[in-house]
Copies of this chain bind each other. A is one copy, B any other.
């Protein structure tokens, strides 16, 4: 399967790209608004993988070109760019492609981070509202610490939660997610259940910052 990671030059995009490339046989396509930046980052990731003896090429494209080549498209962009990004690549999406939304909105005050719930209900919902009707949107990968993903020496043994209204698309994303070693994908129901998942990310940051020895936290349902 071909996986495009739009915003794949950012932290969470890098982590997902490295893990997919290292642990699965999927083709990983880095997307960016700037094709040259995408190609440069893809070369960096390929070099890091090569240094670990992993023969997995990662390639870079402008977002729409990456989307055109992909079956699964991960929107690893800041929450306020999710809607625009979906619109910018809409023509490159084929019937049956799956859009994946991992972004969450946060704001910070003196106490820590808080979930900034968008008017639409969730960032995942913003992606769904912007997507062409033929393309299913699935929420996943919200609560993963970018630095932990990007450090291929770090064990995961954590969960990611998957929400969506299209069961086939959700199953595709569960399969793709569980290709990453140590990542368990759990079904959290319909897309309307996204806010509580997006709200978990600021909580993970707050817990890490208030307990010594805890950083890059993940979560396990048990």
Cβ contacts under 8 Å, A197 to chain B: 203
Query: Shortest Cβ distance from A161 into chain B, in angstroms?
Result: 7
A206 contacts chain B at the CB level, 8 A cutoff: yes
Query: Shortest Cβ distance from A179 into chain B, in angstroms?
Result: 19
| Chain A, interface residues (CB within 8 Å), range | 35 or more
Chain A positions within 8 Å of B, measured between CB atoms, are: 109-112, 114-115, 157-158, 161, 186-193, 195-197, 199-200, 202-204, 206-207, 209-211, 214, 217-222
Question: In terms of DSSP, what is the predominant structure of the interface of chain A?
Answer: mixed
Cβ contacts under 8 Å, A218 to chain B: 221-222
In Å, the complex CA distance between A211 and B211 comes to: 31
In Å, the complex CA distance between A100 and B83 comes to: 41
In Å, the complex CA distance between A220 and B222 comes to: 7
